[in-house]
Amino acid sequence: MIAFFIKRLAQAVVVMFVISLISFSIQDNLGDPLREMVGQSVSEAERQELRDELGLNDPFLIQYGRFVKNALQGDLGTSYFFKEPALEVILKKLPATLELVFGASLIILFLSVPVGVYSAINPQSLFSKAVMGFSIIGISVPVFLTAIGLIYLFSIELGWMPSFGRGETLEMFWGWESGLFTVDGLAHLVLPCISLASIMLPLFIRLIRAEMMEVLQSEYVKFAWAKGLNPRRIYFLHALKNTMLPVITVGGVQIGTMVAYTILTETVFQWPGMGFLFLEAVNRVDTPLIVAYLIVVGAIFVVTNTIVDLVYGLVNPTVNLAGKK
């Protein structure tokens, strides 16, 4: 177990190192910090002096070292636009994005498993065929079109659902603004979550169905039948546990994709989350904010991958978490 964490920690360090290098080179090359600070009216000599003072003329490694040192202390620079520490700006938006991902994951989890399992057990049923038909349509519709379609139908035509923003939020611990505990907040969450789930859901249904059908053909499931076990136990313990192994692996990769899709969903719904903020930052060339976003997303990747590996190790006894194969 300890070995597992050390290994993960090493991986995390490598990932964060790469991200920090990329981030640093962006910060170094995008825009001139002096212009942001002093404007045009300062003479070239004074500029040069200021550069020396700020250490902008130092060798690359020293500058990078300073960047990492500051980053480790949580200082990723000040957003040009908001005039606030970039990390704080991003972290303030983190809850909105996390709640969006959380809602979408719930939808995916609670629909894909039963539907996938059912259509694997009864592949010839009308319902299964309908599911397969819908799922291929679902895969073919880009997230932003689903989102636009939902807004058009439920907000503009029917007027049932709000079309943008988070609605009413409650302040929780540590300044966490949550929309999960007000009716208005939940109503605002519905359409964005469905949109975000829309592309992953059919993918997972198809994956679970395919894996489950394969597992149902396996010798150990046949043996379970020969032992006279209850069908429910065979389907939901013997078969499902083995089905979930590849699904967990794919799920881990898909979490990254989901974070990327939050950018799309948040853009359509003007959801005040990190993704929306990131896109605004790109348009404004707000480098510190871009860097802060990359680092936060990198951290999310590392954490989720670790959790996925941990869960996989718990489900699959043949995996030794210490990493010895």
Question: Which residues of the chain form contacts with other proteins (CB under 8 A)?
Answer: 26, 29-30, 136-137, 139-145, 148-149, 151-152, 156, 217-231, 233, 237-238, 241-242, 245-246, 249-250, 253-254, 256-257, 259-261, 263-264, 267-268, 278-279, 282-283, 285, 287, 290, 294, 297, 301, 305, 315-318
Amino acid at site 45: A
Nearest approach, Cβ of 129 to other proteins (angstroms)?
A: 12
DSSP one-letter code for 150: H
Distance in angstroms (rounded) separating the CA atoms of residues 35 and 41: 10
Distance in Å, CB of 298 to other proteins, minimum: 10
Smallest Cα–Cα separation from 18: which of 303, 299, 309, 310? 299
Q: Angle CA(282)–CA(285)–CA(289) in degrees, nearest 5? A: 70
CB of 15 to other proteins, least distance (A): 9
Q: Which is nearer to other proteins, 28 or 184 (CB)?
A: 28
Question: For other proteins, which is the closer residue by CB, 107 or 121?
Answer: 121
**Cβ closest to other proteins, residue 117 vs residue 290:** 290
Q: Which residues have C-beta within 8 Å of that of residue 96, sequence separation ≥ 6?
A: 166, 177, 179, 266, 271, 272, 273, 274
**In the complex, minimum distance from the CB of residue 322 to other proteins, in angstroms, rounded to a whole number:** 15
Cα 176 to Cα 174: distance, rounded to the nearest angstrom: 5
CB of 258 to other proteins, least distance (A): 8
Q: Which is nearer to other proteins, 169 or 266 (CB)?
A: 266
Cβ nearer to other proteins, comparing 91 with 319: 319
Contacts of 117 (CB under 8 A, 6+ apart): 208, 209, 212, 235, 236, 240, 243
